[in-house]
């Protein structure tokens, strides 16, 4: 069985046992969290339920297995002939979640 959940402004297709990285969730490592609204579910028998916009009564539970940072993104701005140069970097805080249950 799979589900499509919305977490941190993005949508993820998950199954039981999957490990995903989502935007930071303020919780301790090892704690259980419920991931955002469930938009769609599907099973092994090709049955698919699509929400309008979400499915009520469905939930996806996950276990937090890590808090880390994503890759460095370099932002480089300049204006030609104006001696303007600006370099910035950014690393997004991420939470690694293992999907425990889809119900």
Q: What range does the domain containing 14 cover?
A: 2-102
Q: Considering its fold, how many domains does the chain have in total?
A: 1
Let me know the angle formed at the C-alpha of 11 by 90 and 101, rounded to the nearest 5 degrees.
115
User: Between 78 and 36, whose confidence is greater?
Assistant: 78
d(CA 101, CA 26): 20
Mean per-residue pLDDT, 43-62: 91
pLDDT band at 14 (very low <50, low <70, confident <90, very high): very high
pTM of the model: 0.86
Residue 43 has what pLDDT? 87
pLDDT band at 46 (very low <50, low <70, confident <90, very high): confident
d(CA 2, CA 36): 15
């Amino acid at each position: 069985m799979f589900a499509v959940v919305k977490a941190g402004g993005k949508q993820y297709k998950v199954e039981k046992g999957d490990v995903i990285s989502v935007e930071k969730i303020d919780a301790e490592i090892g704690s259980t969290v419920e991931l955002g609204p469930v938009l769609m579910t599907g099973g092994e028998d090709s049955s698919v339920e699509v929400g309008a916009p979400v499915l009520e009564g469905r939930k996806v539970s996950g276990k937090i297995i890590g808090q880390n940072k994503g890759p460095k993104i370099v932002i480089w701005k300049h204006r030609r002939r104006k001696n303007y140069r600006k370099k910035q970097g950014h690393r997004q805080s991420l939470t690694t979640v293992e999907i425990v249950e889809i119900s």
